[in-house]
Amino acid sequence: MRFSDCNYLILLTCLFLGGCVAPALQGDIDVLDRKIRRQGKEVKIVRQQQAELEARLDVLQGQLQRLTGTVEESKHYSQRASDDVISISEGLTSQVGKYERELNQLHEEIRTIKTLLGMKVTPRKLESDVGNRGTLEQATTTSLPPAENLVKVAGSPDPEELYNGAYSKLSEGDFKASREEFKKFLQLFPQTEYSDNAQFWIGESYYREKRYEEAIIEFEEVIKKYPQGNKVPDAQLKQAFSFIALDDTNSAKLLLGKIIKQYPDSDQAAIAQAKIKSLK
C-alpha cells in the first residue's frame, strides 16, 4: 500500500470515530450548561436576599442608635434630677439644722435671762416628742433671786441684802465682785434655801467670763454640797455647756445624758435633748 493510501485510511478512521463521540460529548455539555444556569439563578437569589438583609440590618442599627440615644438622654436627665433633689434635700437639711441650733441657743439664752431675773421658766415643746407624747410636761426650776425672808443673825450682815447685792453685781457684769460677795454669803449662811443658788452663781460668773474649767469646778460644788437642792440639774447643764466650750463633747454628752435620765420631765432635760441633737 502506498503512503498516500495509508493517510487516507487514517483520515477515514478519525472521521468515523469523531462522528461516534461528538453526540455523547454534546449531551454532557448541555447538562453542565443547565446546571450552570440554575446555579447562577440561585446565586442571584442569594445575593438579592443578602442585600435585603443588609438593608434591614442598617434599619435596625439606626433604630438601635436612636433608642440608645433616648435611653442615655433619659439617664442623663434622670441623674440630673436625682442630683438636684439630693442637693436640695441636703441644703434644706443643713438649713433646718442651722435654724434648730440657733433656736435652741435662743431658748437657752431666754431661759438664762429669765432665771437671772427671777422669772418663772415655762416648759417648751420638743419636736422629737411631738409624735410620741404630743407635749413635754416639765417641772419648772425656781432660781430664787432676789432673796426674801432670810433670817437675820445678830452681829452678822443682813443676808437678804448681801445676797441681793451680790446678784445685782452679777447682773451688771461685775463678776469678780459678785463672786466675792456670794462667797461671803456662803461663809456666813452655808445652809439656807439660797445657799445652793449662791454657789451656782459663783460658777455662772466664771462661765460668763469664759473661764470654763473654773466654772466646772464651782458647779460641781453645787452638786456635792447641795445634792437635794433644785440647782443640781442647772449646775450639770452648765457643766455640759462648759465642756462643749472646751471642745470636750464626749464629757458633755455624758452629762447631758445623765440629766435626761435623772430628770426626764424637767426643763433641763428638754434642753439637754436638744443640745445632744445639735452635737450629732
Q: Is residue 100 part of a domain?
A: no
Stretch 155-172: mean pLDDT, rounded? 88
Query: 139 forms bridges with which residues in the sheet?
Result: 266
In this prediction the pTM is 0.49
**pLDDT tens digits, residue range 209-250?**
999 999 999 999 999 999 999 999 999 999 999 999 999 999
Q: Is residue 103 part of a domain?
A: no
Stretch 242-271: mean pLDDT, rounded? 95
The radius of gyration computed from the CA coordinates of the chain, to the nearest angstrom, equals 52
Residue 257 has pLDDT above 70, yes or no: yes
Q: Is residue 160 part of a domain?
A: yes
Q: Is residue 223 part of a domain?
A: yes
Residue 186 has pLDDT above 50, yes or no: yes
The residue behind cell 495509508 is 6
Rounded to whole angstroms, how far apart are CA atoms 201 and 234? 11
Stretch 50-54: mean pLDDT, rounded? 76
pLDDT of residue 136: 28
- Split into its structural domains, the chain has a count of 2
Stretch 61-72: mean pLDDT, rounded? 71
**pLDDT tens digits, residue range 79-89?**
555 555 555 65
Residue of 156, 3, 246, 270 whose CA lies nearest to 256:
270
Residue 268 has pLDDT above 60, yes or no: yes
Chain centroid offset of residue 159 CA: 54
Q: What percent of the chain has pLDDT over 90?
A: 41
Residue of 112, 113, 111, 132 whose CA lies nearest to 122:
111
74 and 4 together in one domain? yes
Stretch 183-204: mean pLDDT, rounded? 94
136 and 265 together in one domain? yes
> The domain containing residue 29 runs over which residues?
1-86
Rounded to whole angstroms, how far apart are CA atoms 111 and 241? 14
Q: Is residue 94 part of a domain?
A: no
Q: b/e string for 193-216 if b means 16 or more Cβ within 10 A? A: ebbbbbbbbbbbbbbeeeebebbb
Rounded to whole angstroms, how far apart are CA atoms 205 and 210? 9
Residue 152 has pLDDT above 70, yes or no: no
Residue of 158 and 27 predicted with greater confidence: 158
pLDDT of residue 34: 75
Stretch 94-121: mean pLDDT, rounded? 59
Residue that terminates a domain, selected from 86, 101, 124:
86
pLDDT of residue 130: 31
Q: Is residue 68 part of a domain?
A: yes
209 and 267 together in one domain? yes
Residue of 258, 266, 233, 276 whose CA lies nearest to 124:
266
Tell me how many degrees the CA angle 185-190-195 measures, rounded to the nearest 5.
70
Confidence of residue 125 (pLDDT cuts 50, 70, 90): very low
pLDDT of residue 141: 34
Cell digits of residue 193 = 434655801
24 and 80 together in one domain? yes
Q: Which residues contact 137 (CB under 8 A, 6 or more apart)?
A: 123, 265
pLDDT of residue 139: 31
Q: What is the mean pLDDT of the chain?
A: 74
pLDDT of residue 221: 97
Rounded to whole angstroms, how far apart are CA atoms 177 and 195? 17
Q: Is residue 162 part of a domain?
A: yes
Residue of 120 and 193 predicted with greater confidence: 193
Residue 168: CATH number of its domain = 1.25.40.10
